[in-house]
């Protein structure tokens, strides 16, 4: 399995430290946060990890280039302009050319404490003939508009077959309270869809919109994973992460 970590975001919610230290390099114990994410990918079976950075975030590359102890090959892609998460993922497309297996996408600012979601999602994907799987969490009504929200038909308590995805809807428009939560296993068709994806919410190219189009040709499942997601992209989320990992 191959993994992709978008880590090119500017980190505006965590200024001023992110002027020089990318949020993904903030320490959780003695390791930068992004190393824990790479380790989650490797534990789930990834033997190659492509990290998307911006030109200002070369320090992430310097960190991994100096570490020979990871049991995965790390490759690099660059997002020079901030045009959305879908655009960031698209910058890594070349590394997945000719792939037929789903790609594990882990957002570089989302750490999960407790049971790691990636391995469980890989198992669900295999059980459904290598289908795509999106990691989910329930969110309170007042936070719905910060997330991609899904609709689907329940398979069991934690799994559903998706029928729709909407990026950052208002609570009135939202099809449920199940939010996309930083982990995806996506059929590589998603790259071609992203290449033709017009800008969506906020004028940005949204990964959620491309997955919505993927639904018309490929099954996509949702998995409400048991671990707890922490957003290291803001000071409060980061402190919460440190407590959870302490
Ligand atoms: C991104 C996705 C959104 C998802 C969220 C958390 O939003 O676009 O669908 O719910 O991550 O995983 P962002 O936090 O980059 O605005």
pLDDT digits (tens, 9 = 90+) for 66-111: 765 778 899 999 999 999 999 999 999 999 999 999 999 999 999 9
Tell how far the Cα of 95 is from the centroid of ligand 1, in angstroms. 23
DSSP result, 45-110: T-SEEEEEE-GGGHHHHHHHHT----SSEEEEEE--S---HHHHHHTTGGGGTT--SPEEEE-TTE
Look at residue 69 in the predicted model and tell me its pLDDT: 72
Bridge partners, 220 (sequence order): 132
Those residues of the chain that have pLDDT short of 70 are 67-68
Look at residue 98 in the predicted model and tell me its pLDDT: 93
Look at residue 67 in the predicted model and tell me its pLDDT: 66
For ligand 1, pick from 23, 79, 85 the residue to mutate: most ligand atoms within 8 Å of CB.
85
Residue 182 CA: nearest ligand 1 atom is 12
Tell how far the Cα of 178 is from the centroid of ligand 1, in angstroms. 12
For ligand 1, pick from 11, 37, 52, 107 the residue to mutate: most ligand atoms within 8 Å of CB.
107
CA 139 to chain centre: 17
Residue 201 CA: nearest ligand 1 atom is 8
Tell how far the Cα of 202 is from the centroid of ligand 1, in angstroms. 12
The whole-model pTM stands at 0.97
* Ligand 1 binding residues, C-beta < 6 A: 85, 107, 110, 147-148, 167, 179-182, 206-208
| CA–CA distance, 201 with 112 (Å, rounded to integer) | 26
Please provide residue 19's backbone torsions phi and psi, each rounded to the nearest 5 degrees. Answer: -65, -30
Look at residue 66 in the predicted model and tell me its pLDDT: 79
Domains of the chain: 2-245 (3.90.550.10)
Look at residue 68 in the predicted model and tell me its pLDDT: 58
Residue nearest to atom 5 of ligand 1 (CA): 147
Give yes or no for a contact between 114 and 212, defined as CB atoms under 8 angstroms apart: no
For ligand 1, pick from 137, 148, 168, 224 the residue to mutate: most ligand atoms within 8 Å of CB.
148
């Amino acid at each position: 399995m191959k993994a992709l970590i978008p880590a090119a975001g500017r980190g505006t919610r965590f200024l001023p430290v992110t002027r020089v230290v990318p949020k993904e390099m903030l320490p959780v114990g003695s390791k930068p946060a992004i190393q824990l994410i790479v380790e989650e990918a490797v534990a789930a079976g990834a033997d190659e990890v492509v990290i998307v950075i911006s030109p200002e975030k070369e320090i992430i590359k310097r960190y991994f280039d100096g570490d020979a102890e990871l049991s995965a090959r790390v490759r690099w892609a660059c997002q020079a302009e901030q045009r959305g998460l879908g655009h960031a993922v698209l910058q890594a497309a070349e590394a997945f050319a000719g792939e037929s297996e789903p790609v594990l996408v882990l957002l570089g600012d989302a750490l999960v404490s407790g049971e790691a979601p990636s391995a469980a999602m890989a198992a669900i994907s295999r059980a459904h003939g290598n289908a795509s799987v999106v990691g989910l969490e329930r969110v309170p009504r007042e936070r719905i508009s910060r997330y991609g929200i899904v609709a689907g038909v329940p398979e069991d308590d934690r799994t559903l077959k998706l029928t729709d995805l909407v990026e950052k809807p208002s609570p009135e428009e939202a099809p449920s309270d199940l939010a996309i939560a930083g982990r995806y296993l996506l059929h590589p068709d998603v790259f071609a869809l992203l290449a033709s994806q017009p800008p969506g919410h906020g004028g940005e190219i949204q990964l959620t919109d491309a997955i919505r189009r993927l639904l018309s040709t490929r099954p996509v499942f949702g998995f409400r994973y048991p671990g707890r997601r922490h957003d290291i992209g803001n000071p409060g989320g980061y402190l919460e992460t440190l407590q959870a990992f302490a």
